[in-house]
Amino acid sequence: MRLVVTQSLILPRKQRVAVFDGHPEVSIGRDISPDPTAPRLRLKEMGVSKFHASFFFNFSSRTWSLVDLGSVHGTTVNGVRLSGARQSSQPRELRHTDTIVVGTTTLVVHTHRDGLPCTDCAVVNNGDNEIPLFDAKSREVGVPGKPLPPQPQLVRPSTDSTPWLPTNRVLYPPGSPPGVRSQLCDSNLYLWQSVP
Ligand SMILES: [Zn+2]
């Protein structure tokens, strides 16, 4: 999947394409990623939360989904806000031409059936138009011509009840009973757990 920026007050004008191919997960946040090996679409403005949203690749359906992680100002897809302020959302499966708005940035989803980029989502001029997903200062990655770092190990579920997301990334969907939390699993279903 690639995202094409159609509007942004925060990204450099020439950076128009984010390439997610090859990553199982890409986060959106205001700051650099706390894990330098984890790709992040960084949008450095106050309308974007530190842990704003995350894109996940579902290996069984071969589709990408977007989850709001409880941001203050929200995430919209095709004009519909995914969740209220400080509430995480259900995963929203993304389709070609879906329009995502985070802060002042508008992004259009490109998922081409043949896997090849179109003229809008192609990386050109030695990567000049590509949005780096890694912090160039902490790791020399995301730089054209340089290899990507080792990808984070995905913990695959051994049973249906094994969450594959790190346990510190807990989602609180709307309507969660007190003392109960949920986690996003490989099947995009929520598992409910009692919090000790
Ligand atoms: Zn395209």
Burial 116-128 (b: 16+ CB within 10 A, else e): ebeeebeeeeebe
On whether the CB atoms of residues 3 and 11 are closer than 8 A, the answer is: no
In the chain, % of residues over pLDDT 90:
56
Parent domain of 107: 2-127
Q: Does residue 161 belong to any structural domain of this protein?
A: no
Expressed in angstroms and rounded, the spacing between residue 162 Cα and the centre of ligand 1 is: 35
Q: Does residue 86 belong to any structural domain of this protein?
A: yes
Q: Does residue 138 belong to any structural domain of this protein?
A: no
Q: Does residue 101 belong to any structural domain of this protein?
A: yes
Asked whether residue 22 carries a pLDDT value surpassing 70, the answer given is yes
Expressed in angstroms and rounded, the spacing between residue 163 Cα and the centre of ligand 1 is: 32
Note the pLDDT tens digit of each residue in 37-49: 889 999 999 999 9
Note the pLDDT tens digit of each residue in 70-110: 999 999 999 999 999 999 999 999 999 999 999 999 999 99
Q: Does residue 162 belong to any structural domain of this protein?
A: no
Confidence of residue 33 (pLDDT cuts 50, 70, 90): confident
Amino acid occupying residue 174? P
Structure confidence at residue 40 (pLDDT): 95
Expressed in angstroms and rounded, the spacing between residue 6 Cα and the centre of ligand 1 is: 13
Whole-number mean pLDDT of the chain?
78
Confidence of residue 144 (pLDDT cuts 50, 70, 90): low
Expressed in angstroms and rounded, the spacing between residue 34 Cα and the centre of ligand 1 is: 30
Q: Does residue 17 belong to any structural domain of this protein?
A: yes
Ranges 32-36, 113-117, 144-148: which has the least confidence: 144-148
Structure confidence at residue 1 (pLDDT): 95
Between CA 138 and CA 147 the distance in angstroms is 15
Expressed in angstroms and rounded, the spacing between residue 183 Cα and the centre of ligand 1 is: 32
| H-run or E-run covering 17 | strand 17-19
On whether the CB atoms of residues 21 and 46 are closer than 8 A, the answer is: no
Structure tokens at 102: 């985070």
Q: Does residue 154 belong to any structural domain of this protein?
A: no
More confident residue, 113 or 174: 113
* Sequence-ordered list of residues with C-beta below 8 angstroms from that of 41, at least 6 positions apart, any chain: 3, 18, 26, 27, 28, 29, 131, 133
Beta-bridge partners for 100: 77, 107
Q: Does residue 58 belong to any structural domain of this protein?
A: yes
Expressed in angstroms and rounded, the spacing between residue 23 Cα and the centre of ligand 1 is: 18
Count of structural domains, the chain: 1
Between CA 184 and CA 161 the distance in angstroms is 11
Asked whether residue 195 carries a pLDDT value surpassing 60, the answer given is no
On whether the CB atoms of residues 118 and 108 are closer than 8 A, the answer is: no
Q: CATH number of the domain that 19 lies in?
A: 2.60.200.20
